[in-house]
């Protein structure tokens, strides 16, 4: 099992997971053309996509879903409530037979993957994250949540893709309207760099070798600030993550494939 964060920012999120001879997308916030270009950068092809796992209906996570589905016909795993919240236009473009409905908090199997969709706290209809397990190796994909209480199923995974959305001071001093600022800071918003670091400190275990920080705000965060928040938190709490390689994702350049 290996993965790459193809693109991640406030304007579009999409990752790829490869397990044996199968290829899966985690969210579809890129157009089909942009996705194809990102995959070429890491030596892969859009035609190989077998399925897409959707977390929620916000445009930065489903922007390219209709075009990808129309051209390449992957299976789409989605909760029924999230499906209902898709626009009529998107539903009209996607063949109904492509949708497979899942429920949060209920395991299911896809090929060689055991998958556990878990609830998150976001201002979407039915937001979820995913725990992927194959041959004893575990990847946790956790994004778009204002708060999150660690749970035993997600502790000590081999790898994490984890939101680090904003630096609070940059957010409050930004030109964004206060309604939006308060939304982001709320329990239904996004994890700050500091929230992300604290959460990871409660999830990381001796098996954990990789962490990719993603969904960084275009306007209210930087890679350096995200890393600084992590270093500061672990230094101040006398905790260590020396065995974990931290990568910060990019809007334009995919991460190299990371083995789980």
CB atoms < 10 A from the CB of 152, how many? 6
d(CA 36, CA 245): 27
Phi, psi values for residue 49, rounded to 5°: -70, 125
Q: Per residue in 63-118, pLDDT tens?
A: 999 999 999 999 999 999 999 999 999 999 999 999 999 999 999 999 999 999 99
**Edge-to-edge order in the sheet of strand 12-19:** 99-102, 75-79, 51-53, 22-26, 12-19, 2-9, 258-259
Percent of the chain with pLDDT over 70: 100
Q: What is the mean pLDDT of residues 191-217?
A: 96
CB atoms < 10 A from the CB of 240, how many? 11
Question: Residue 185 in contact with residue 221, Cβ under 8 Å?
Answer: no
d(CA 138, CA 75): 22
d(CA 94, CA 157): 34
Token representation of residue 59: 């445009």
Phi, psi values for residue 110, rounded to 5°: -130, 115
Q: Per residue in 5-55, pLDDT tens?
A: 999 988 899 999 999 999 999 999 999 999 999 999 999 988 889 999 999
Per domain, the residue ranges of the chain are: 2-259
What value does the mean pLDDT of the chain take? 96
Assigned architecture for domain 2-259? 4-Layer Sandwich (3.60)
d(CA 156, CA 158): 7
Question: Residue 142 in contact with residue 160, Cβ under 8 Å?
Answer: yes
Mode of pairing for the β-strands spanning 75-79 and 51-53: parallel
Q: Per residue in 131-172, pLDDT tens?
A: 999 999 999 999 999 999 999 999 999 999 999 999 999 999
């Amino acid at each position: 099992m290996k993965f790459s964060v193809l693109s991640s920012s406030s304007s579009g999120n999409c990752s790829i997971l490869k397990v044996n001879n199968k290829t899966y997308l985690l969210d579809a916030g890129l157009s089909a053309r942009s996705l194809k270009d990102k995959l070429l950068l890491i030596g892969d092809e859009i035609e190989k996509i077998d399925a897409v796992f959707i977390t929620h209906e916000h445009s930065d996570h489903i922007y390219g879903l209709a075009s990808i589905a129309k051209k390449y016909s992957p299976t789409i795993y989605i909760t029924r409530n999230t499906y209902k919240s898709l626009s009529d236009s998107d539903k009209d473009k996607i063949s109904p037979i492509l949708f497979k409905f899942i429920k949060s908090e209920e395991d299911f199997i896809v090929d060689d993957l055991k998958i556990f969709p878990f609830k998150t706290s976001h201002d979407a209809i039915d937001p979820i994250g995913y725990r992927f397990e194959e041959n004893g190796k575990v990847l946790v994909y956790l994004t778009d949540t204002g708060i999150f209480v660690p749970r035993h199923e997600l502790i000590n995974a081999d790898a994490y893709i984890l939101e680090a959305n904003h630096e609070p001071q940059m957010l409050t001093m930004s030109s964004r309207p206060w309604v939006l600022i308060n939304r982001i800071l709320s329990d239904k918003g996004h994890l700050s760099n500091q929230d992300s670091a604290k959460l990871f400190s409660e999830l990381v275990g001796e098996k954990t070798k990789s962490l990719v920080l993603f969904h960084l705000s275009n306007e209210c965060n930087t890679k350096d600030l995200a890393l600084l928040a992590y270093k500061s938190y672990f230094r101040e709490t006398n905790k260590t993550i020396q065995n974990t390689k931290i990568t910060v994702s990019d809007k334009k350049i995919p991460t190299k494939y990371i083995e789980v």
